[in-house]
Amino acid sequence: MRSVDETLNVLQDELHSVESQLSEPDVASDLARLRDLSRRHKELLEINNAWIELKAAQSDFSTAKEMFNETSGDDRELWREEMNNAEEKIPELEVNLETLLLPHDPNEGRNVILEIRGAEGARRPTSSPATSPRCTGATPHCGAGSSTSSKSASPNRAASMRPSI
């Protein structure tokens, strides 16, 4: 099993290889290859930049620690501050690098059609508004499918609106 440094060195070599392939003139004529190389270059460049940033923070921490041990007085407090800043930064950079090293979804960046279906056994209305049990000839929006004409429904509606004595 390779160490993280060995893996990152291999990825850095691959980055250089992809960059040299992108500089070839025949790649521009093959759009699919150009697209694939450009995507891979972007991924590798992000990983490489994160790795360089992590190495720089680790180097800053070790340098600040050495200088902290060698100095005294006010300078010692400055180096302690540098050590603390680098120490806080290193875990964040490690998490960022680990996230970039995770395998990517092959369908990332592609359009996806998502279909959401109702749960099995859910009740759905099976009738149209015209044949709905609530739909009677008396209701104005339910003309289709009703057997009662609107003229015969009007007296019933008018009777139901009269106050009862």
- Residue 17 in any domain: the answer is yes
Q: Which residue has the tokens 């005294």?
A: 72
- Residue 111 in any domain: the answer is no
> What is d(CA 57, CA 152) in angstroms, rounded to the nearest whole number?
88
Last residue of a domain, one of 83, 101, 119: 101
Indicate if 18 and 70 belong to the same structural domain.
yes
- Residue 106 in any domain: the answer is no
Look at residue 140 and give its three-state secondary structure: coil
Indicate if 9 and 83 belong to the same structural domain.
yes
Indicate if 14 and 82 belong to the same structural domain.
yes
Indicate if 144 and 76 belong to the same structural domain.
no
- Residue 125 in any domain: the answer is no
Convert the pLDDT of each residue in 75-117 to its tens digit: 888 888 989 999 999 999 999 999 998 888 877 778 888 888 8
Provide the domain limits for residue 141.
134-161
> What is d(CA 40, CA 58) in angstroms, rounded to the nearest whole number?
27
Indicate if 15 and 66 belong to the same structural domain.
yes
- Residue 155 in any domain: the answer is yes
- Residue 15 in any domain: the answer is yes
Indicate if 148 and 90 belong to the same structural domain.
no
Convert the pLDDT of each residue in 9-48 to its tens digit: 899 999 999 999 999 888 888 888 999 999 899 999 999 9
Q: In this predicted model, which residue has the larger pLDDT, 130 or 89?
A: 89
Indicate if 88 and 11 belong to the same structural domain.
yes
Q: How many domains does the chain have?
A: 2
Can you list the alpha helix ranges (DSSP code H) found in the chain?
4-22, 31-70, 74-101, 150-161
